[in-house]
Chain A
Amino acid sequence: MHYLFEPGLFASGPVRTALLVGAVVAVTSGIIGVFTVIRGQSFAGHSLADVATTGGSGAFLVGLNQFWGFLAAGVAAAGLMEAIGVQRRRGRDVATGVVLGAALGMAALFLYLDTQQTSTTGASFTVLFGSMFVISPDSVPALVASGVVAVVTVAVLARVLLLTSLSSDLARARGVNVRLVGAVYLIALAVSVSLSAVAIGAVLSTALLIGPSATALRLTKSPIRAMAASAVTGLAATWLGIVLAYDSYYWPPHGHGWPVSFFVVALVLAGYLLSYARKPRRLVPRSPHEGAECSPA
Chain B
Amino acid sequence: MFSGLMMNTWITASVVAVIAGVVGFFAVLRGSTFAAHAIPNGAFAGAAGASLIGINVIWGLAVFAVGGALGIGALGRKARHDVVTALTLVLMLGLGALFVSVSSQYAQEAYSLLFGEVFGVSSGEVLPIVGLGVAAAAAIVLAFRRLMLTSALPEVADARGVSTRGTELYFLIVMALATSMTIPVVGALLMFSLMIGPAAAARAVTARPGVAMALSVVIALVTVWLSIALSYRTNWPLGFFVGVAGAAFYLLAQMSKRFSRLRLRSRPAVPRSHRNRHRADRCRLARPRPRSPGSPGTSGR
Contact = CB atoms under 8 A, between A and B. Distances in A.
Given A97-B37, A172-B288, A121 B90 contact: no
B301 to A, nearest CB: 9
B241 A105 contact: yes
Nearest to B104: A256
A101 B90 contact: no
Contacts of A170: 288, 298-300
B244 interface: yes
A125 B110 contact: yes
A264 B246 CA distance: 35
B298 to A, nearest CB: 6
A contact patch SS: helix
Given A89-B31, A98-B196, A108 B82 contact: no
B279 interface: yes
Contact of A84 (B196, B243, B254): B254
Interface stretch (B4-12, B211-219, B232-240): B232-240
Interface in B167-199: 189-190, 192-193, 196-197
Nearest to A41: B82
Contact of A90 (B31, B85, B237, B238): B31
Contacts of B94: 203, 207, 261-262, 264-266
Interface residues of A, number: 74
Interface stretch (A189-197, A227-235, A288-296): A288-296
Interface in B77-92: 78-83, 85-87, 89-91
Contacts of B43: none
Interface residues of B, number: 74
A68 interface: no
Residue from the set B97, B101, B247, B251 with the largest chain A CB neighbour count within 10 Å: B97
Contacts of A107: 189
Given A170-B299, A291-B282, A111 B115 contact: yes
Contacts of B236: 109, 112
A230 B40 CA distance: 29
B291 interface: yes
B86 A289 contact: no
A197 B81 CA distance: 23
Interface in B110-138: 110-111, 114-115
Contact of B193 (A105, A172, A287): A105
Contacts, number: 230
Contact of A258 (B101, B114, B203): B101
A94 B196 contact: yes
Nearest to B239: A108
B147 to A, nearest CB: 15
Interface string A90-101: 100110111111
Interface string A169-204: 110110100000000000000000000000000011
B115 A108 contact: yes
B242 interface: yes
Given A97-B200, A170-B300, A43 B85 contact: yes
25 contacts: A40-B80, A42-B83, A46-B34, A84-B251, A93-B31, A93-B33, A93-B82, A94-B31, A98-B197, A100-B37, A105-B241, A107-B189, A111-B115, A125-B107, A129-B97, A170-B300, A211-B90, A214-B87, A253-B102, A262-B95, A268-B90, A269-B91, A293-B282, A294-B282, A297-B81
Interface of B: 28, 31, 33-34, 36-37, 78-83, 85-87, 89-91, 93-98, 100-102, 104, 107-108, 110-111, 114-115, 154-155, 189-190, 192-193, 196-197, 200, 203, 236-244, 246-247, 250-251, 254, 279, 282-283, 286-293, 295, 297-300
